[in-house]
Structure 1
Amino acid sequence: MLTKLRRTLISKSWLPDLVLIALAWWAAFWLRFNLRLPAAYIEDAVLTTPIALACMACGLVAMRVPRQSWRYVSLADLRRLAIGVALGALLTTAAVMGLRVTGFPRSVFLISALLSLVFLAGARATWRTLMELTHISTAGAPGAQPLLVVGTLEEADQALRTLKGAAGWQVCGVVSPDAQDAGRTLQGVPVHVGIGQLAEVAQAEKAGTVLLASPPGAELRREVLLRWSGSGLALLTLPSADEWLSPGATALRKVRLEDLLGRAPVQLDTHGLSALLSGQTVMVTGAAGSIGSELCRQVARFGVARLVCVDQSEYAVYRLEQELRRSFPNMQGVYLTASVREPERLLAIAMHFRPVVVLHAAAYKHVPLMEQGNEVEALHTNVLGTLHAARVAAQAGAQRFVLVSTDKAVNPTNVMGASKRLAEQVVQAVAAQFTGTQFVSVRFGNVLGSSGSVVPLFTAQIEQGGPVTVTHPEIVRYFMTIPEAAQLVLQAGLMGRSGQIFVLDMGEAVKIAELARMLIRLSGKSEAQVPIVYTGLRPGEKLYEELLADDETTEPTPHPKLRVAKSGVQGVISLAEIEAGIAGIGVAPQAAEVRKMLSQFVAEYRPGRSDTEVTFPSASEYPPPAPGAKEGCPTPSGVA
């Protein structure tokens, strides 16, 4: 305490403060006696000045005023200053009155307090103004780019405060959607009204860049995008809090698709997740995929002692290793190439590292690909792979197992969706056998930017000049960002009870055609330059995705974005029958056999018709090679 007091007393900010307090004390006498100081009261002023300085100093120290930075003083700092001055004035009054100075003018106490507040606050405000003027002159130096800020006055005010620390930008105007703001100024910047005149305002202000200050998902962002397309303006926005923390973060970044679709930030139970994950071993299957890699990043943020990353792609595991070693150098990462279709290998890994939590994200997810010639692969990876991972988690003594599922598992019309629904049932069956581990499934829709999703496809098509191919003008999907999906998977894993299936709040469904239009406009082009072509629904594809089956209802949870799916009465499926059924199909089956088996275990599965179905001959149907001919096999029907 003495060391802190000593540092406070020798702080350079005390010197001007003490001078100003003494000046305020003498000025109070001067004002009290009509701008003159009678000789009879000079002795009183001299006698009480040290008392006033000491008492006012005590009040300011009590409110930590000397610790304030003058350069960045805020309204909150000035409020603390006012309280400190008031406290110091009370102490001064008590001390001087205790001395019983004869004829001491009591109005001096009030006048000196007001003057001290004005002098101290004015000095800080003046210093900050000088510093900001210096920065403004630097920002307005040759080479600084003129910038328009679009948003309400409250949003623009926050953006202007953020831009004070960003060199190279000169804010030349604010464009507000509210007509009542016309003619006003904000922090000295003129306010223009009318999003429709954005291009004209930019031309008048000679600005080539627009900053969207409105929050993600706001309707204003979409309106600006419509007005902006083809105007030649660069469209920027402020980074999110997580992006500020990432290496190489800048003050401004380009607007992305997720900024326009808009998803409110996920509120995580950080205390509960930290208690579950911090200092523990976590295993992620499919760790190098889109969802799996984001799960690894989110888990690493909670301070796990060891992260075991399992994926069958060697190159993808290598890339994940490089990223996580760079971002989390203190975390012990284990990067393994293995397939969930190999139970012995998976068990050996789990028994060696003994994970507390297993996150199962390994899956085949491309609907048309799994519908034509790869049906058995969906069974082996999505169903058997899930069974292997769930059993291994229980045998290794894991506390929790979380399956990443999909909305396509609801009333499935394709093999991929049916296999994921069967995987959910497998997890529930394993949960009934192993009560020591909590098994939950998490169901959500499409993820923006994930491998195989429409966004990378559309982006590549736009870069090539189009056309952008959309299957149907009315097809809609639910979308969420990769970080949001990963965070909600962790949250569901924390709060779920064994056997539960969680449904994520996906917000409003988005038309794929509208998604394509937004991506085209984000590229700075119009639909006339990059046309949209409709190609028709693909095999197994539905116009509308569902998050709940017809016989299901949901129950709320403490988390606003998570609900629990409650299925109708259904017995636990036989895992032995599933394994026997898949083993009996073989590796090169007729597609009808796979669909028949799925229909036996997934009651709500309604197979769609495939016009280009790929079939394979049985092993006995392969003819022996002719003498001297190379070994081969006949071409499957439906394959050119």
Structure 2
Amino acid sequence: MRSRLAHWFIGLPRKKKAFILISADVLFAVLALWAAFSLRLGVLYAPKGDEWYLFAVAPVLAVPIFVKLGLYRAIIRYIEIRALWTIIQATTLYALVFAFVLYESGIYGVPRTVLPLNWLNMMVLVGSSRLFARWWLGGGDSRFSGGRSAAVCCKRNVVIYGAGSAGVQLASALGHGREFRPIAFIDDDSALHKSKVNGLRIYPLSSLSYLIERYQASDILLAVPSASRARRNEIIRLLEPYSVHVRSMPGLSDIAQGKITFDVVQEVDVADLLGRDSVVPDQSLLHANIAGKVVMVTGAGGSIGSELCRQIIQLQPKMLILFELSEFALYAIEKELNYLLTKTKGSKEIGVISVLGSVANGDRIEKVCNTFKVQTIYHAAAYKHVPMVEKNPGEAIWNNVFGTLRTAQAAINAKVETFVLISTDKAVRPTNTMGATKRFAELILQALSLDAENKYSTRFTMVRFGNVLGSSGSVVPLFREQIARGGPVTVTDERIIRYFMTIPEASQLVIQAGAMGQGGDVFVLDMGEPIRILDLAKRMIHLSGLEIKDNDHPAGEIEISFTGLRHGEKLYEELLIGDNVSETSHKRIMRAQEHVIAWSELEKLLATLEQATNDDDFERIRAVLADVVVGFVPQCEIEDVLWKENRRIVNG
């Protein structure tokens, strides 16, 4: 019966619900005044004479005041305890207005104590009715059946790590949701153990096994948004042995900016697994090439390019030009940036210009630079997916090598002040075409910077770093997808290691490094300790609450399979070609001194490479790359087959 009535009330239109609440408060106003007289006089009171007017006036005063203070806008089944303060304010204001009306009415014989009793009765009746309705409509016990109750019964029991304000708000938000049921808190503070918050007990971490066994808890939610990455990594390592799915709540910055709410839980950020905190940026370096300037980002819709755009917008440029080949990627980043501009104080004057085009079209880039008076270029446009580039080497040459050349020449002709190339660790002693083309691009900028015959006003800088978490083609989203499908998780080789950095940190360091360059500089980002990809896969499986299936654990859920190195892939990546490296003013940015080819010589090699690419002569292309790029040693047997197959397809 209770369930049917609750569902009937929840399904009513908002106006009808408000009418029911107003009717109840009209009754409460009359009942509170009658009870005040009865309590004061000690008998069941019966109004007489002018006193009847008071019972008519009471609801007429109460309802408008309650409307004004928002008592009928709240969703009753989600109302919080703190809403009682609003009820206290509303009933207090009503009692004061009622007392004034009584004083001005000239009705005599009303005991003075009736007024405080009336206020107290009204507050109790209105407040208790809301709390009762919240309990009744929100499913105060598990006896609901069907509809909403089915969702309640199917909720997964979860433990919240962190009993601070974030954890308490998360528990409250999840209590109204349909997916999770908080059953306890875990906290490191021993002073909180055995106490309760909102009915949930706080336990030490040592009690997690007990909670999992008793309550069949399937997930543990990290509610420590202000903790450092090192601390979060430490907590995650402590939780790995337990058979629970570890998730986290969003960071405080995302919540504060309104991007995400407290009740959103997500997979553990793999950046937390690195356990490395970002270094506080040098604000002078961040603003040097951006604040008040016209900035262009090529490849603006890519992983790095789009993050550069997000950070550039925060640094108050005069104008930001998005240069992108992909129409959809350009549309997506333009829409996102326009939204960010509406949310960022003082950013409404920033112009965002979207330009479709290829970096290989130097004339178009030069026109854009001249038209908008571009002062800084971040060149992020490149083909970066190693196996895809191996299958399409000609297009990689046009985009990565000649695209960089044309863009650099356009920058020189348009007198752009600063040009920053986004490079890669795969440019160091490459075993693949992608890495070789990126090193060739670096050599072009170095040669232009050191050209003795031409002193250009454009300052060229290169920034080299390793893998970024979450980028297109990154192993992390691939592992998540494979785990969600039930496996297997594919790892190329059990020995393979990689350096990792978050996209925001890499982009921030790129901006700072670009401001340090004097011309022809190659900056290398400190990527921290390398990560073994097999260990990363194992940790992601464990944190998903699953067990690895292998010979020792045949009943496990997820298997790890080894597929062998992909074409052109190395077991490990390097950031330096030689040992000649020096520190800079930033602890995460180093300056490398490496072999440079004079522009007069490189210009001839570029002409040969262009002719070979036009002729689809892949053997000649590889020969030129080998001559130019120090340490380029392709995986010959595999490479020969691939390149010959490409030539056969192109030539028919």
1:175 aligns with 186
SS at match of 2:536: helix
SS at match of 1:363: coil
SS at match of 1:615: helix
Tell me if structure 2 keeps the 8 A contact 1:539–1:609. no
2:412 is aligned with 1:394: yes
Give runs of aligned pairs for residues 338-357 of structure 1, distance below 5 A: 338-357=357-376
SS at match of 2:240: helix
Residues 521 and 495 of structure 1: is their aligned pair in 2 closer, same or farther, counting only changes over 3 Å? Answer: same
SS at match of 2:642: coil
More displaced stretch, 261-270 vs 595-604: 261-270
Q: What root-mean-square deviation, in Å, do the aligned CA atoms of Structure 1 and Structure 2 show?
A: 3.5
2:211 is aligned with 1:211: no
Give runs of aligned pairs for residues 464-479 of structure 1, distance below 5 A: 464-479=485-500
SS at match of 1:613: helix
Deviation of the 1:224 alpha carbon: 4.4
2:514 is aligned with 1:493: yes
| Deviation string, structure 1 residues 81-115 (Cα, Å, up to 9, x no partner) | xxxxxxxxxxxxxxxxxxxxxxxxxxxxxxxxxxx
Deviation of the 1:450 alpha carbon: 0.9
CA distance in 2 between counterparts of 1:440 and 1:389 reads 13
Matching residue within 277, 281, 303 for 2:290: 277
Tell me if structure 2 keeps the 8 A contact 1:266–1:488. no
Report the TM-score, using the length of structure 2 for normalisation.
Answer: 0.66
Tell me if structure 2 keeps the 8 A contact 1:221–1:260. no
Residues 523 and 165 of structure 1: is their aligned pair in 2 closer, same or farther, counting only changes over 3 Å? Answer: closer
1:544 aligns with 572
Tell me if structure 2 keeps the 8 A contact 1:363–1:381. yes
Tell me if structure 1 keeps the 8 A contact 2:462–2:523. yes
2:481 aligns with 460
1:529 aligns with 557
SS at match of 2:515: helix
Give runs of aligned pairs for residues 211-610 of structure 1, distance below 5 A: 211-212=221-222, 213=224, 214-217=227-230, 218-229=232-243, 231=244, 233=245, 235-242=247-254, 244-250=256-262, 253-254=265-266, 255-329=268-342, 330=348, 331-372=350-391, 374-432=392-450, 433-527=454-548, 528-549=556-577, 551-567=578-594, 571=598, 574-587=601-614, 589-610=616-637
| Deviation string, structure 1 residues 385-409 (Cα, Å, up to 9, x no partner) | 1111122222222221110000011
Tell me if structure 1 keeps the 8 A contact 2:254–2:260. no
2:176 is aligned with 1:198: no
CA distance in 1 between counterparts of 2:194 and 2:520 reads 59
CA distance in 2 between counterparts of 1:574 and 1:142 reads 79
SS at match of 1:351: helix
Amino acid of the structure 1 residue aligned with 2:446: Q
SS at match of 2:470: coil
Tell me if structure 2 keeps the 8 A contact 1:425–1:573. no
Deviation of the 1:359 alpha carbon: 0.3
Tell me if structure 2 keeps the 8 A contact 1:552–1:568. no
Deviation of the 1:220 alpha carbon: 2.7
Tell me if structure 2 keeps the 8 A contact 1:405–1:442. yes
1:614 aligns with 643
Deviation of the 1:174 alpha carbon: 4.4
2:39 aligns with none
Tell me if structure 1 keeps the 8 A contact 2:382–2:399. yes
Deviation of the 1:490 alpha carbon: 0.7
Residues 375 and 276 of structure 1: is their aligned pair in 2 closer, same or farther, counting only changes over 3 Å? Answer: closer
Residues 568 and 580 of structure 1: is their aligned pair in 2 closer, same or farther, counting only changes over 3 Å? Answer: closer
Residues 338 and 139 of structure 1: is their aligned pair in 2 closer, same or farther, counting only changes over 3 Å? Answer: farther
Tell me if structure 2 keeps the 8 A contact 1:163–1:251. yes
SS at match of 1:220: helix
Segments of structure 2 that go 5 or more residues without pairing to the other structure are 1-81, 83-129, 141-151, 343-347, 549-555
CA distance in 1 between counterparts of 2:646 and 2:297 reads 37
Residues 425 and 236 of structure 1: is their aligned pair in 2 closer, same or farther, counting only changes over 3 Å? Answer: same
Residues 488 and 275 of structure 1: is their aligned pair in 2 closer, same or farther, counting only changes over 3 Å? Answer: closer
Residues 491 and 242 of structure 1: is their aligned pair in 2 closer, same or farther, counting only changes over 3 Å? Answer: farther
CA distance in 2 between counterparts of 1:617 and 1:346 reads 30
SS at match of 1:227: coil
CA distance in 1 between counterparts of 2:646 and 2:172 reads 68
SS at match of 2:328: helix
CA distance in 1 between counterparts of 2:283 and 2:258 reads 19
Amino acid of the structure 1 residue aligned with 2:161: V
Deviation of the 1:529 alpha carbon: 1.7
Q: How high is the sequence identity, in percent, across the aligned residues?
A: 38
Deviation of the 1:163 alpha carbon: 5.6
Amino acid of the structure 2 residue aligned with 1:150: Y
Amino acid of the structure 1 residue aligned with 2:521: Q
SS at match of 1:486: helix
Amino acid of the structure 2 residue aligned with 1:343: G
Deviation of the 1:572 alpha carbon: 5.3
Tell me if structure 2 keeps the 8 A contact 1:409–1:420. yes
CA distance in 2 between counterparts of 1:341 and 1:139 reads 66
1:36 aligns with none
CA distance in 2 between counterparts of 1:609 and 1:404 reads 28
Residues 275 and 542 of structure 1: is their aligned pair in 2 closer, same or farther, counting only changes over 3 Å? Answer: closer
Segments of structure 1 that go 5 or more residues without pairing to the other structure are 1-70, 72-133, 619-633
Amino acid of the structure 2 residue aligned with 1:408: K
Tell me if structure 2 keeps the 8 A contact 1:468–1:531. yes
SS at match of 1:260: helix
Residues 602 and 350 of structure 1: is their aligned pair in 2 closer, same or farther, counting only changes over 3 Å? Answer: same
CA distance in 1 between counterparts of 2:633 and 2:262 reads 50
Residues 250 and 587 of structure 1: is their aligned pair in 2 closer, same or farther, counting only changes over 3 Å? Answer: farther
Tell me if structure 1 keeps the 8 A contact 2:246–2:544. no
Residues 526 and 564 of structure 1: is their aligned pair in 2 closer, same or farther, counting only changes over 3 Å? Answer: same
Report the TM-score, using the length of structure 1 for normalisation.
Answer: 0.67
CA distance in 1 between counterparts of 2:531 and 2:273 reads 11
SS at match of 2:572: coil
Deviation of the 1:439 alpha carbon: 1.2
Amino acid of the structure 2 residue aligned with 1:282: V
Deviation of the 1:182 alpha carbon: 9.6
Deviation of the 1:515 alpha carbon: 2.1
Residues 228 and 281 of structure 1: is their aligned pair in 2 closer, same or farther, counting only changes over 3 Å? Answer: farther
1:106 aligns with none
| Deviation string, structure 1 residues 25-47 (Cα, Å, up to 9, x no partner) | xxxxxxxxxxxxxxxxxxxxxxx
Tell me if structure 2 keeps the 8 A contact 1:181–1:192. no
Tell me if structure 1 keeps the 8 A contact 2:161–2:167. no
CA distance in 2 between counterparts of 1:464 and 1:610 reads 34
Report the number of matched residues. 481
Residues 211 and 563 of structure 1: is their aligned pair in 2 closer, same or farther, counting only changes over 3 Å? Answer: same
CA distance in 1 between counterparts of 2:259 and 2:524 reads 33
Residues 296 and 608 of structure 1: is their aligned pair in 2 closer, same or farther, counting only changes over 3 Å? Answer: same
Deviation of the 1:187 alpha carbon: 7.7
